[in-house]
Chain A
Amino acid sequence: MDLTILAYPFLFAAIYFEAFLLVTFLSRPARAARAREISTRTPVVAMVVPCYNEENTVGGTIDSLIKLEYPPDQLRIILVNDGSTDNTGAVMDAYRTHPQVTVIHKENGGKDTALNAGIAAAPEAELVGCLDADSFVEANALKEMISSFDDPKVGASTAAMSVHNAKSILERMQNAEYILGIALRHILASINGLYVTPGPFSLYRRDALVSLGGFRSGHNTEDMEMALRMQRAGLIIENAPGARVFTKAPKTVPALLKQRVRWTTGFLRNMLYDYRDLVGNPKYGALGMLVLPLGFLAIIGGIGMFFLVIFQAGLQLFDTYAITSGVPLLYTLSTFIPRFGPVEWFYAPVSLFALFAVVALIGSILFMIVGRRISHTPGSIGLGILAYMLVYGLIAPFWLMRAAADVATDTRRSWR
């Protein structure tokens, strides 16, 4: 029984999405976004850093903000200690004397409450940047983003994220994925198709945030919820691919699973409970008709393909065992050893499934290269791409399955 036929709709959808991305990348709005000049405008900007138990990284985050190439009198840095139980408060207080820095200590209430406290503390700001306390901005990042707000309908702008100091296989894999995300965000922003303003660094028009009622928990994905609320309100979410921000990525598989389960359950709950009206709604263009439906399909496809592979491999293993039992194992093993010599094209493992999968994979790699080029992200991503190809597919189904199960059983997990 060959069930690979079930994989074709998902592979077709993946290639279709990549083709759509390619066409949109070459379209005028995306080209115009890439050619956008750095603005000479310097509106008052408040950079809010919500922080809970980040004593090891928050110092670096604050230092990177202080080094921003932006007129100091126009830049406020608001550090919000959300009831940390470690040394975070003391690290923040060490910056109190800096003229640009304001430190707020509050009881623990969640990231959304910390962000709102920071926004409230900067009434004079035209733009509000939200930066996670484990992320570090490049000196020119803010300048790169200002021109995104030339259009008054723009409510937010996203940056180009990559992994800070990616060394391990897991970190390199995530780095490749983040760089793929840079290309995706750049392209989808050109048709207002973004549904998340990532926490590591996004810039918002303060008026828009206030008029929408500030941040909400959003099922532990306040950045996604805010982006969806902006979309529903008819605001535009822009992207500045030259605004680089580096963020710490989970170093272990359990930590990665935890983070991704939170992201995926956040997506599913926001879509199913609060923003269902956006899905499949032509009023929201690419977001409603393509991005959000494909988000669902990606979750179903990721889980489905995993089970398909497990089922096919199990079946193959069972058949092989049944056929080869009784024959010396050494002989069976020898048939799996690749023979060196002239390659016979006749036996080339070319099948519909293999070719569809290769095209989809090449598409992903192409957009990783695009992401790196448009953001000028430093460092090589060759190993990251390899890790992404080999490891990602083995881990992702687990967070997709756990997230789907959590939503189905209404299981709520803590942030960390």
Chain B
Amino acid sequence: MTHLAEQRERAEASGVHHLTVLSNDEPARRARRSWTLALATLGVLAFALSFSQSWWKFTLYAPQYPHGLRLEIALTGLQGDVHEIDMLNHYIGMRHLVQAAPIERAYASYGVAGVCFAVLVGILLLGRRTGRLALLPALLFPIGFITDSFAWLYAFGHQLDPRAPLHVPPFTPQMFGNGQIGQFMTFAEPALGFWLSVVGVALVAAAVEYRQRAVCAHCAHAAKCKDVCPVHFLGNPGKLEKSA
């Protein structure tokens, strides 16, 4: 029986059926490590890149704005026809856009750095049972943005100054697709930053899954151990085998 077949059998016997059993030789291990780290790094890179991009964009069309008014939301601020949109919003008593999400914008850089850090630490150090938790900070990143943005849109549309010249019933500006406010046809959609974060999540998910499935089968302890061993994942299995 070859070493590999022996391992597979041991694994089957210990009920660890889902583990992909791969060759245990050094080049194969190096390749597995490299793929996992490369995917995770690319994912983190996508997150980092998204920091400097707009995450969401709104376009407003009206007869007197034939080319549309644009508003782009990035993690640290707003871009586009902010002045003009504020001017229009003042008619219905909406607050200035710059007053939205001040804390989020101030700490956005730490947030992104934190997410990147947490993802990498998770990939490197988590065990098999907790391995998928590495995806959590990544996943929370775009979801958190959407949730927070929606909350702010809701707040802005529901806290209108009662002394405004125009009285409109409270509303939540459309966050996806077409909407209509007065003479404005609005269109909202995710922008490059958001899509980068989604790509980042996908890459991190791939890294986590790959690591999760591929790491343990070659280990001499695989039969007994139900955890992915971080030391083993990064370290030299040869030494471990010897000690076994």
| A, B co-complexed | no
Using a CB–CB distance below 8 Å, which chain B residues touch chain A? none
Using a CB–CB distance below 8 Å, which chain A residues touch chain B? none
